Amino acid sequence: MAAAPTTAHQPLQPGRLLAIGTLAGIYSGLFGVGGGAIMVPLLILWLAFDPREAAATSMAAIAVIATSGTITHTVYGNVLYAQALLIAAPAVIGAVVGTALQQRVPREWISIGLAVLLVFAAVDLLQGSGSTATATSDAGIANAPILIAAGFLAGVLAGLVGIGGGVLFVPALVYAGGLDQRAAIATSLAAIVPASITASLRQRKYGNLRLREGLVLGVLGIAGAAIGATFAEVLPERALRIGFAVMMIVIALQLVHGVRKSRRAEEPEAPLP
């Protein structure tokens, strides 16, 4: 078993924690994802979390946010549980694999990998990916291997970098599962719940989870999601996508800069002539 992170815990900064949870919730409410793409890098940059701690704490928050979203969507009849189970089961296995792999990956690699994912997510937002398909039947069961593969890969990502998996679940459910966008978002949230809980429990075993901060972020994320849903109704979607895409690229650049700065600090000083 890998040793727990040795990074000293910084004093809790409620203002920054509030900002991170609210931003993540707004992002979740706008685009139907868990918010980890916002939480993880900001926990690293603003609160000096170890990358493994940031990923673990994000997953605990996402479990709260996704559960709340699933309950709401279930009331409205948007969740298709057959498809949710089809991607959730392999996602749980993937989360176990991802958390185990994370303990063997250098911390700076996690930050760099997260930066790359953020850039891809930003490009995806700018392209405005999504489907207007209206099928919500069981047609997607015929594409079960695609959904299973997407579930496993999303679970690995959840365990490795603390992103809930919606970035893979939603398009897979739309294009391979035959769901419309609303049903895909709702079903994705339902599938995220067991994967995020599994990843959180595994991370706690490795000593990475900061549960208090994770629960606080989760509660703030629920509130932020309500704000995000309101923004989605009153602001142009294109403007929102551009705003979040720019923010993600800036965060990615900051993560890479942080890694480079850390490497320079670790380099031995040249001996004096």
Angle between helices 144-161 and 81-102 (to 10 degrees): 40
Q: Is residue 8 part of a domain?
A: no
Amino acid 138: pLDDT: 52
Amino acid 116: pLDDT: 87
| Residue range 171-188: mean pLDDT, rounded | 82
Amino acid 5: pLDDT: 47
Domain that includes residue 214, residue range: 14-259
Q: Is residue 60 part of a domain?
A: yes
- What is the reported pTM? 0.77
Amino acid 3: pLDDT: 44
Q: Is residue 5 part of a domain?
A: no
For the stretch 195-221, pLDDT in tens is 999 999 999 999 999 999 999 999 999
Q: Is residue 28 part of a domain?
A: yes
The mean-pLDDT minimum among 101-105, 107-111, 260-264 falls in 260-264
- Answer with the residue of higher pLDDT: 66 or 130: 66
Angle at 149 between CA 167 and CA 88, to 5 degrees: 70
Amino acid 129: pLDDT: 52
| Site of tokens 């800036």 | 250
Q: Is residue 81 part of a domain?
A: yes
Centroid of chain to Cα 121: 11
Amino acid 136: pLDDT: 44
Q: Is residue 7 part of a domain?
A: no
Band (271; pLDDT cuts 50, 70, 90): low
Whether 125 shows a pLDDT value over 80: the answer reads no
- Total number of domains constituting the chain: 1
In terms of phi and psi (left: phi > 0; alpha: psi -120 to 50; beta: otherwise), the region of 9 is: beta
Q: Is residue 267 part of a domain?
A: no
Largest CA distance in the chain: 75
Band (9; pLDDT cuts 50, 70, 90): low
Band (237; pLDDT cuts 50, 70, 90): low
Amino acid 76: pLDDT: 84
Band (256; pLDDT cuts 50, 70, 90): confident
Amino acid 10: pLDDT: 59
Whether 51 shows a pLDDT value over 70: the answer reads yes
Band (17; pLDDT cuts 50, 70, 90): very high
Q: Is residue 57 part of a domain?
A: yes
Question: Whose CA is closest to 114, among 242, 254, 262, 255?
Answer: 255
- Contact present, 143 and 176 (Cβ < 8 Å): yes
Whether 267 shows a pLDDT value over 70: the answer reads no
Question: Whose CA is closest to 51, among 175, 210, 189?
Answer: 210
- Answer with the residue of higher pLDDT: 263 or 15: 15
